[in-house]
Amino acid sequence: MAANTIERLLNDIKEDLDVDEVTLISRSGMHIGGDVPENAHLETFVAMSAILLGAAETATSELEEELSHVVVELKRSRVLVMNNGPTALLAVKMSKKCDIEDILEGLKEPIDDLQGIL
> pLDDT by residue (tens digit) across 69-115?
999 999 999 999 999 988 999 999 999 999 999 999 999 999 998 98
Q: Long-range contacts for 6-15 (Cβ within 8 Å, ≥24 apart)?
A: 6/32, 6/33, 6/34, 6/114, 6/117, 7/33, 7/34, 9/110, 9/113, 9/114, 9/117, 10/34, 10/35, 12/110, 13/92, 13/106, 13/107, 13/110
Per cent of the chain over pLDDT 90 is: 82
Report whether pLDDT(51) > 60.
yes
Domain residue limits, the chain = 2-117
Q: What is the pTM of this model?
A: 0.93
Superfamily of domain 2-117: Dynein light chain 2a, cytoplasmic (3.30.450.30)
> pLDDT by residue (tens digit) across 60-75?
999 988 899 999 999 9
